[in-house]
Each structure stands twice: as structure tokens, then as C-alpha cells.
Amino acid sequence: MNGGVVSLSAGLCAGLRPVGDGYRTGPCQIRRMAEPSPAPSVRERIEDAMREIGTLVVAFAPLEAAFARESDDRLATTLILLTYGIVLFVGALLFERRRTRVQ
């Protein structure tokens, strides 16, 4: 040691290190940050948006029917919204499955 200064590698590889509830000696473990994940592509962003919009439409279609004025087309509107949400959600899942198969 140079005047009480310990190098970084010596500090990581020598002596007791806290592990769980106690201390132990062991092999040198040098840790580093994980590699940043790549930014999602435009296609992945569109798939995510389709899936989110489909989920929200399916979730809120019954509320639209509950708060709508009494009319004859209330059931038809609810079914159209539910169908639209399901088509968006399933379409996004199919696109994602196709993309992962190609990769």
C-alpha cells in the first residue's frame, strides 16, 4: 500500500466482503453496469400503442354504455367499441408474434 491508499482492484478482490447476513472471503467479483437496452423501433412502439388503446377501449366500452342516454343503439355502440378494442389488441399481439418469429 502506498501511504494507506488501496487501489480499486485490491479493494474489490481482497479482504472480507459483506454477503447476505455475514462476511466471507471469496473470488474477486468485479461488477459493472448493464448494457443499455436498445431503443424500441417504430414498429414496436406502434404495437405497444395498439395494445394499450385496445385494452383501454375494451375496459371503458361498458362504462360508455352505462352512462349513455337511453337509446336503442346503446347496445350496438357498446358492441362496436368492444369489437374495435379486441381487434386492436389481437392485431398488436399477432404483429408482435410475427416480429419475434422473424428475429
| Residues 6 or more apart whose Cβ sits within 8 Å of residue 90 | 54
More confident site: 87 or 11: 87
pTM: 0.57
Distance separating alpha carbons of residues 54 and 59, to the nearest angstrom:
9
Supply 90's cell numbers: 389481437
Q: What is the pLDDT of residue 88?
A: 93
Q: What is the pLDDT of residue 1?
A: 46
Question: What range defines the domain where residue 69 resides?
Answer: 42-102
- What is the pLDDT averaged over residues 16-35? 63
Burial class (CB in 10 A: 0-12, 13-18, 19+), 92: buried
| 29 in any annotated domain | no
Q: How many domains does the chain have?
A: 1
Q: What is the pLDDT of residues 33-88, one digit of tens each?
A: 788 888 888 889 999 999 999 999 999 988 888 888 887 788 888 899 999 999 99
| 17 in any annotated domain | no
| 81 in any annotated domain | yes
Distance separating alpha carbons of residues 91 and 93, to the nearest angstrom:
5
Whether the predicted pLDDT of 9 surpasses 50: no
| 64 in any annotated domain | yes
